[in-house]
Structure 1
Amino acid sequence: MTETQEYDVLVIGSGFSGIHQLINLRKQGLTVKILEAGSDLGGTWYWNRYPGARVESEVPIYQFSDPELWKDWTWSERFPGWKEIQEYFQYVDRKLGIKQDVLFSSRVVSAVWNDTTDRWMLTTEDGRVFRSQFLSLCTGVGSKPYIPDFKGLDTFKGQVHHTARWPAECNLAEKRVGIIGTGSTGVQVIEEISPIVSHLTVFQRTPHLALPMRQRQISVEEQEKQKNDIYPILFSRRLQTFSGLLHDLNPKPTMDATPEERISFYEDKWEKGAFHFWLGAYKDLFTNQQANDEAYAFWRKKVRERIPNPELQEILAPMQAPHPFGMKQPSLEQRYFEVYSQPNVTLVDIKKDEIEEITLNGLKISDGPILATGFDMVTGGITAIDIRGQDGIPIKEKWSSGIRSYLGLASATYPNMFWIYGPHSPASFSNGPTTIEFTSEWIINLIKHMKDNQISSVAPTEKAQNLYSEKVSRLGAAGLWLRAKRSWFMGANIPGKKTEMLQFPGGVPVYTKLCNDEAKNGYKGFHTKPEVVRKKGYGSVQDLNDG
């Protein structure tokens, strides 16, 4: 019989969220273990090792804000690649001994709440059993790959790789390769492999409205000067901007600016690169179609200047916007639009010619397709686990008709269960570490409050959950999000998934105020259950061990 392992907190996932939870829960004197499906640290950055994979939030704010971790670490680029990110996680482990509390190759398949003992019971794929008072879901927004049901895919003779499960060894030099999908991942892969393959065929359904990255090397001297002068200021600034980045939206309505002022503003944002043209634009870009059209017209002009072929111009940067700009996730590019002028690259518009079948020899290619078809975003990492709360109903079943959450970090009838950087949080519209650190600290403060006040369990009230979920929906409906078909922001990229606002679109400052107000008000949006004197086997983790 498998022996049950006991902890105060079980964390699923060893990316930024899971590691931040571990570091800071340890400081509270709690016993913590991370269960990680992969064989090393990194979460998303363990799996994201496809050609060209890199961060799209710029240094220095894409890292932990703890001075103990940034004072001795330097980056080589403004936007680090996946290898450097993985090296960073190894550095964090060397500093703080993270791996001693991580169980690798431990994919959690079920989590069941016991309302009598106020404990979660978790089971891994290999049959191990764990028990804890608290469950922290650090599965991220993109942990469950999505592969469309292509007819014939299982009979294809060549290599097929999804970018989220890239093999450690994969030599594409002089190969004939096809890429299905031109989202953020597709853009990065296309840029990286187009110079080395013999021929690349790109299958595009929707034009990707990518923005210039403006990548550059950054010196040790430059970073040391910033560390001495402004790092703490920069990390504090994150919580004051809409996106948790260092630049913010301009509150001035687009059409209140003169044409000359608008062009000057757009040019400045364009030259700065990164997400300045999106998350540093005029604020009404997200709510006003005319304002959005102005931004798209500027984007289209800039991109078409880089594409000499008129036919390709219309496929990649059409005169009619494929969807409101910024209502699907833009990515950052370095030479994406120039790739299509290479003689070894062919672009296929599958909006006109849908992929019906993958034959034995592929889609007019011979060596193999790369599937850059994305993820079951935001909810997929959570619903992939059979999670059952007080009523025994799986969370996947509950959320099939729409997400219900309170503050984008907990759900009614699932006591002592929290998630970070997931459904109804600002995740996809913010710098990851900004949202992660705030939410993680908020959850830890709630746990501390429970311990200080002898509270055994908490769960959101249905009323509080409904009010918050309705707020997320209202904010989404007030924007242009619904006009972007098949957007993963709305869950519309997955057949059968309810189309709804998956993330909190009101910005980081509004979100943090909602959470902080809840704490100041004594967590009134939660049902609380006091600790009681119990028989052995029903009390603390120590009682359970003794029993």
Structure 2
Amino acid sequence: MGRARPVTKSPVVLDALIIGAGVAGLYQLHQLRQQGLSVLAVDAASDVGGTWHWNRYPGAKFDSESYIYQYLFDEKLYKDWTWSERFPAQPEIERWMHYIADRLDLRRDCLFSTTVTEARWDEARNRWTVKTDQGDVFDTQFLIGCCGMLSAPLENRFPGQQTFRGRIFHTARWPQEPIALAGKRVGVVGNGATGIQVIQTIADQVGELKVFIRTPQYTLPMKNPKYGPNEAAAYKARFDELKQNLPRTFTGFEYDFKHSWNDLTPEQRLEVLEEIHADGSLKLWLAGFAEMFFDPEVSEQISEFVRGKMRARLKDRRLIDILVPGPDDYGFGTHRVPLETNYLEVYHRPNVHAVSVKNNPIAEIVPEGIRLEDGTVHELDVIILATGFDAGSGALSRIDIHGRDGHVLREDWSRDIRTTMGMLVHGYPNFLITAAPLAPSAALCNMTTCLQQQTEWISGLIGWMGAHGKTVVEPTAEAEEDWVRHHDETANANLISRTNSWYVGSNIPGKPRRVLSYTGGVGTYRAKCDEAAAQGYRGLATR
């Protein structure tokens, strides 16, 4: 149970209001309570968990190793939870989130089933007025957005969805009750990381499965061993090592880039690629050869290595053409790389059909199913939309946030998505954010690593302000411009910036194009944030 709803509609006065009760929001709540502040976390969900509350679709699971996707601020909290396998599924992850909330007694300061709809900065009082869909009004000094980077699902993607006679589900809004798929004609739209997890999980359950594929994906096979007492003891013994190293690697994972392409012979390169491909993790992407992000030739050679592994598992030339990226598509690692378990083999089943919509796109949803541009209608009982998100900026843009001097976040970001270190925005005093654009946590990080760092930095800033008698903080225009320039110089030097994907917002018509995630590395980002803090929060105007 969370906090009871206020019985009066007069504003509830707080030191800090947190939007979201997921990985970031829960830890932020814990830290600010430790400072003795009056703080509340508000979440649209019925319980804690964030991503792991909403994403309960068939097959949802980690692709970060379980023992690194954890909080590292408390050794006993870490060691008192034991994972069952390397990459656990959503139910186990949700139980872990509940364990965290129970151990830290967080629910008493959470308000669930409540959506923040509006936040306005009161320039006369230097405070935020925040409203919800339930009629609550909060008067708070700090507004902290812990909304997540993939939490604004693209649900209404096609004309005619409301006419469909069957049921339509977006993967990020999957119902809590069981959904009967046995024997049904099911269509899955989307074959990114989420779509792949769904497809490989339900293929042997449904009567017929049609997968509508626009963009082929590079995939890596997952190895997911079970953990017994010995394996659990082994990873728990590494707590100090992980606490020290994870925040300083390039992506917040335990592994890091250690090979230089030009220092190795072709035979040695192949040996390294084979070794890390066989690891059954994201290591080939996140700790292979950094040159593949900058050098088109290296990118192509590594991409062809992965394509070759995929082609060897497919028996059908048509399937290869639909499922395996070609040299002219994009390079390995410039899109989100999914892990999979026998995903490619699923398409050899007689009840599974890959439908290419690359040159014959989906035109509309009709009562019978999905109609393509050429008029073909695929009759279906269930449609599953694995159609992604308005990443990074979407969750905050869906809230009506008004800063000072007429600034409206939705309008500002519709012109140019800018932040200062991914944690503050010029024009919005006392507004602090995590998993937002221009920080590694917008896409390129083991999320718990980055969200711990960001919430700790925010807590440090709030504590510093209290100790120095400051009540208002806002980044200067110059500091924000410096950060945006540094971010862009770093991002534009790599191949991610040249590839169309949600990483640059190109999945949203009209969204300003910018690499959403800071690509300079998690360790470098942390060092820059720490340096600013050590210099009295350089670049931030306080009063």
Q: 2:101 & 2:490 partners in 1: Cα distance?
A: 40
Q: Is the 8 A contact 2:314 2:344 kept in 1?
A: yes
Q: 1:170 aligns with which of 166, 170, 179?
A: 179
Q: 2:277 aligns with which of 265, 270, 279?
A: 270
How do 1:95-134 and structure 2 match up within 5 A? 95-134=103-142
Q: 1:285 & 1:321 partners in 2: Cα distance?
A: 16
Q: Which stretches of structure 1, 4 residues or longer, exceed 3 Å deviation after superposition?
A: none
Alignment partner of 2:486: what SS?
helix
Q: 2:426 aligns with which of 383, 401, 412?
A: 412
Shifted more, 315-324 versus 153-162: the winner is 315-324
Write the letter of the residue equivalent to 1:144. A
Write the letter of the residue equivalent to 1:79. F
Please name the residue that 1:384 is paired with: 398
Q: 1:378 & 1:205 partners in 2: Cα distance?
A: 23
Q: Is the 8 A contact 1:403 1:469 kept in 2?
A: no
Write the letter of the residue equivalent to 1:448. G
Q: Is the 8 A contact 2:214 2:358 kept in 1?
A: yes
Shifted more, 242-251 versus 157-166: the winner is 242-251
Q: 2:257 & 2:384 partners in 1: Cα distance?
A: 36
Write the letter of the residue equivalent to 2:223. R
Please name the residue that 1:183 is paired with: 192
Q: How far 1:148 sits from its partner (Å)?
A: 5.0
Please name the residue that 2:78 is paired with: 70
> Judging changes above 3 Å, is the alpha-carbon distance between structure 1 residues 57 and 321 closer, same or farther for their aligned structure 2 residues?
farther
Q: 1:257 aligns with which of 254, 264, 268?
A: 264
Alignment partner of 1:245: what SS?
coil
Please name the residue that 1:82 is paired with: 90
Write the letter of the residue equivalent to 1:282. F
Please name the residue that 1:430 is paired with: 445
Please name the residue that 2:153 is paired with: 145
Q: How far 1:318 sits from its partner (Å)?
A: 4.2
Q: 1:267 & 1:149 partners in 2: Cα distance?
A: 39
Alignment partner of 1:455: what SS?
coil
Q: 1:494 & 1:319 partners in 2: Cα distance?
A: 24
Q: 1:238 aligns with which of 237, 246, 253?
A: 246
Aligned-residue RMSD, C-alpha: 1.2
Q: Does 1:520 align with 2:534?
A: yes
Q: Is the 8 A contact 2:19 2:145 kept in 1?
A: yes
Q: 1:225 & 1:189 partners in 2: Cα distance?
A: 31
Write the letter of the residue equivalent to 1:170. I
Please name the residue that 2:374 is paired with: none
Q: 1:278 & 1:194 partners in 2: Cα distance?
A: 27
Write the letter of the residue equivalent to 2:230. E
Q: How far 1:481 sits from its partner (Å)?
A: 1.6
Q: 2:469 aligns with which of 439, 442, 454?
A: 454
Q: 1:80 & 1:39 partners in 2: Cα distance?
A: 22
Q: 1:480 & 1:502 partners in 2: Cα distance?
A: 14
Please name the residue that 2:226 is paired with: 217
Q: How far 1:255 sits from its partner (Å)?
A: 4.1
Alignment partner of 1:202: what SS?
strand
Q: How far 1:498 sits from its partner (Å)?
A: 1.2
Q: Does 1:475 align with 2:484?
A: no
TM-score, normalisation: structure 1: 0.94
Please name the residue that 2:375 is paired with: none
Shifted more, 423-432 versus 243-252: the winner is 243-252
Alignment partner of 1:456: what SS?
coil
Write the letter of the residue equivalent to 2:23. F
Alignment partner of 2:154: what SS?
coil
Q: Which ranges in structure 1 are unaligned for 5 or more consecutive residues?
A: 530-547
Q: 2:29 aligns with which of 22, 31, 48?
A: 22
Residue by residue over 1:185-242, the C-alpha shift from the partner in whole angstroms, topping out at 9 and shown as x without a partner, is 1000001100100110000000111111111111133212432x32121121101210
Please name the residue that 1:533 is paired with: none
Q: How far 1:319 sits from its partner (Å)?
A: 4.0
Residue by residue over 1:416-437, the C-alpha shift from the partner in whole angstroms, topping out at 9 and shown as x without a partner, is 1111122111011110010011
Please name the residue that 1:196 is paired with: 205
Q: How far 1:365 sits from its partner (Å)?
A: 2.3
Q: Is the 8 A contact 1:300 1:318 kept in 2?
A: yes
Q: How far 1:353 sits from its partner (Å)?
A: 1.1
> Judging changes above 3 Å, is the alpha-carbon distance between structure 1 residues 318 and 117 closer, same or farther for their aligned structure 2 residues?
closer
Please name the residue that 2:368 is paired with: 361
Q: 1:262 & 1:76 partners in 2: Cα distance?
A: 34
Q: 1:524 & 1:151 partners in 2: Cα distance?
A: 49
Q: Is the 8 A contact 1:113 1:121 kept in 2?
A: yes
Alignment partner of 2:337: what SS?
coil
Q: Does 1:158 align with 2:177?
A: no
Q: Is the 8 A contact 1:61 1:235 kept in 2?
A: no
How do 1:308-387 and structure 2 match up within 5 A? 308-363=315-370, 364-387=378-401
Alignment partner of 1:214: what SS?
coil
> Judging changes above 3 Å, is the alpha-carbon distance between structure 1 residues 97 and 423 closer, same or farther for their aligned structure 2 residues?
same
Residue by residue over 1:451-505, the C-alpha shift from the partner in whole angstroms, topping out at 9 and shown as x without a partner, is 00000111000000011011111111101123322x0000001111111111101
Q: 1:190 & 1:346 partners in 2: Cα distance?
A: 11
Alignment partner of 1:443: what SS?
helix
Q: How far 1:124 sits from its partner (Å)?
A: 0.1
Please name the residue that 2:458 is paired with: 443
Q: Does 1:500 align with 2:514?
A: yes
Shifted more, 114-123 versus 451-460: the winner is 114-123
Residue by residue over 1:95-132, the C-alpha shift from the partner in whole angstroms, topping out at 9 and shown as x without a partner, is 11111110001100011111221111100012110011
Q: 2:55 & 2:210 partners in 1: Cα distance?
A: 22
Alignment partner of 2:466: what SS?
helix
TM-score, normalisation: structure 2: 0.95
Q: How far 1:409 sits from its partner (Å)?
A: 0.5
Q: Is the 8 A contact 1:296 1:321 kept in 2?
A: no
Q: 1:462 & 1:193 partners in 2: Cα distance?
A: 50
Alignment partner of 1:356: what SS?
strand
Q: 1:298 & 1:246 partners in 2: Cα distance?
A: 24
Q: 1:362 & 1:190 partners in 2: Cα distance?
A: 18
Q: Is the 8 A contact 2:300 2:327 kept in 1?
A: no
Q: Is the 8 A contact 1:10 1:134 kept in 2?
A: yes
Q: How far 1:59 sits from its partner (Å)?
A: 2.0
Q: Is the 8 A contact 1:323 1:483 kept in 2?
A: no
Q: 2:512 & 2:297 partners in 1: Cα distance?
A: 28
